[in-house]
Amino acid sequence: MKIDNLRPHKQLQQYIDRYWLWEDERDLPIIVPGTGTELMFHFHESITAYSNQYDIRIPNCHILSPRYVAYHVKTTGRIGFIAVRFRAGAFRNFCNEPISEMIDLFIDVRHIWGQQGIDFGNKVIDAKSLEQRIFIIETFLMKCLHCFNKQERWIDYLVDKIYYGHNDVKLSEISDEIAISNRHFQRKFKECVGVSPKAFQRIARFESVLKYLLLNKKSDYLHTVLDRGYYDQSHFIKDFKAFTGEYPSLFLQEKNFMSHFYNNKLHP
């Protein structure tokens, strides 16, 4: 069972989109490339993710970073987790670690917050109810935000501009808009978000299309991809194959419509 409509405390909503959880399942869908960061706590069996290159033993408490690579998941028993879905670029406000060094990785929380991270993860996993887990998560993240908040609203503005306007924004004009050099814009964006503006725009475009197609169970994708910034069908197929290792015609089928990690927008 998947629950995806848990809104964070109002002081965290600027940084966190939602909490969501998955319980009492034995299979998980493919993890596709994405722009955001997830903080995840697995309650039951440990899991392994694998791509074309390697297998990764996933820590029970970990950060899933922005990623270019798709991962399949192997499990040996029951699945249960709660996840914190950070808004794109927002995780930098909760740690001192370079975001650019987290790309395509499942990072144990101890590498982010040391012993405090270990204790934090154990408390979340050992909690007896969903309410207790969310309270523990929010208490810890509030403390992190107090210590690490970067107060860089112009970066958040640019992330939102590229994320939501990925098919219209011209990256060459953005630095002029906010009166900084293009070199400084490129460097600072990658430092805060983890990837270059161009890579972020490309992943955001792909993510927007795939999310819409899966949530709406659409296998006929041509109109959607043209409407969301792709030049033509071959452009989309090339990106799809690069990001997932599959062709869209094979991926956009019932099994993936029924089980995926995308969530509908939360309403006020």
Convert the pLDDT of each residue in 72-118 to its tens digit. 887 777 788 999 999 999 999 999 988 989 988 899 999 999 999 99
- Cβ neighbour number for residue 156 with a 10 Å cutoff: 20
Number of alpha carbons in the 13 Å side-chain half-sphere of residue 175 = 13
Torsion of CA 54, 33, 266, 86, to 10 degrees: 70
Domains by residue range for the chain, with CATH = 2-148 (2.60.120.10)
Q: How does the average pLDDT of the chain come out, rounded?
A: 88
Pairwise CA distance, residues 109 & 119, whole Å: 10
Helices (H), 59-196: 110-126, 130-148, 153-164, 171-177, 182-193
Using DSSP's 3-state secondary structure scheme, residue 215 falls into helix
Going residue by residue through the chain, which has 268 residues, state the pLDDT in tens, using 9 for 90 and above: 667 678 999 999 999 999 998 877 667 788 889 998 999 999 877 788 887 667 788 889 999 988 888 888 877 777 889 999 999 999 999 999 889 899 888 999 999 999 999 999 999 999 999 999 999 999 999 999 999 998 888 889 889 988 888 777 888 788 788 888 888 889 989 999 999 999 999 999 999 999 999 999 999 999 999 998 898 999 999 999 999 989 999 999 998 888 888 877 775 5
Q: d(Cα 147, Cα 144) in Å, to the nearest integer?
A: 5
The C-alpha torsion from 218 through 223 and 225 to 227, rounded to 10°, is: -130
Q: How far apart are CA 77 and CA 228, in angstroms?
A: 39
Q: Can you state the angle between helices 182-193 and 153-164, rounded to 10 degrees?
A: 90
Q: State pTM to two decimals.
A: 0.90
CA atoms within 13 A on the CB side of 219: 11
Give how far Cα 173 sits from Cα of 154, 176, 189, 199, 206, Å.
Answer: 15, 5, 15, 16, 22
